[in-house]
Amino acid sequence: MRDVVGRLGVVRVDHVAVAVRSIEAAVPLFRDLLGGEFLHGGNEPEPLGIRTIQLAMPNDLRIELLQPCTPDSYLHAVLDKRGEGVHHITVFVADIHVALAALEEAGIETVDTDLETDPTWLQTYVRPRSGFGIVWQIVQSADDWSVPQGIASLEAVLAGGVDWATNRVARSDGDAGSTPS
């Protein structure tokens, strides 16, 4: 297996995110029929207004399910315009600055670049018109998101008992735990 590939310095394709109106309604397909195992999830009320869960699928693929969790979530407009389906693909890179320079040199449009909010999660997005209809999330992070992040159950997330803030659990109720540091 190669460590870093391409001009972006890709480390791995991390996950495929799917926008849904209801995570609870999607669980029977993604968990029960396709065999996904719950890893972690929670609400990100500010600024996105979304609830997410990640499921480990066979052969190291991960699926992230996204649903709106606030009335003003941007995801309502996405679902109304495009319906449920693939929202984005996340690719981890060794160095976000190298990736940004390579994207700019190639004339690829990026948006919502954030190199300041959380030093453990640096990101940008490739616009769909530059990404052949796909939103590409390009991330530099040393955290291993392929392992559970200390959240005890899918049920705690579905009940709204877990909130994320800057990629860490900010609030948990019930049997939800906290992330390791």
What is the model's pLDDT at position 28?
97
What is the model's pLDDT at position 44?
85
> Of all helices (H) and strands (E), which one includes residue 98?
helix 96-105
What is the model's pLDDT at position 3?
75
DSSP state of 59: G
- From its phi and psi, is residue 61 left (phi > 0), alpha (psi between -120 and 50) or beta? beta
DSSP state of 143: S
Q: What is the pLDDT of residues 90-102, one digit of tens each?
A: 999 999 999 999 9
What is the model's pLDDT at position 180?
33
Closest CA to 44 of 16, 18, 75: 75
Q: What is the pLDDT of residues 134-160, one digit of tens each?
A: 999 999 998 877 776 666 688 888 888
Catalogue all structural domains in the chain, each as residue range(s) with its CATH number. 10-164 (3.10.180.10)
Residue pair 142/93 in contact by the 8 Å Cβ criterion: no
Q: Enumerate residue ranges in the chain where pLDDT < 70.
A: 1-2, 148-152, 165-181
Cβ neighbourhood burial of 24 (10 Å; 0-12, 13-18, 19+): middle
Residues 6+ apart with CB under 8 A from 145: 14, 15, 39, 40, 54, 62
Q: How many CB atoms lie within 10 A of CB 82?
A: 12
What is the model's pLDDT at position 178?
39
What is the model's pLDDT at position 37?
95
What is the model's pLDDT at position 143?
80
Cα 38-41-47 angle, rounded to 5 deg: 160
> Of all helices (H) and strands (E), which one includes residue 67?
strand 62-68
What is the model's pLDDT at position 163?
81
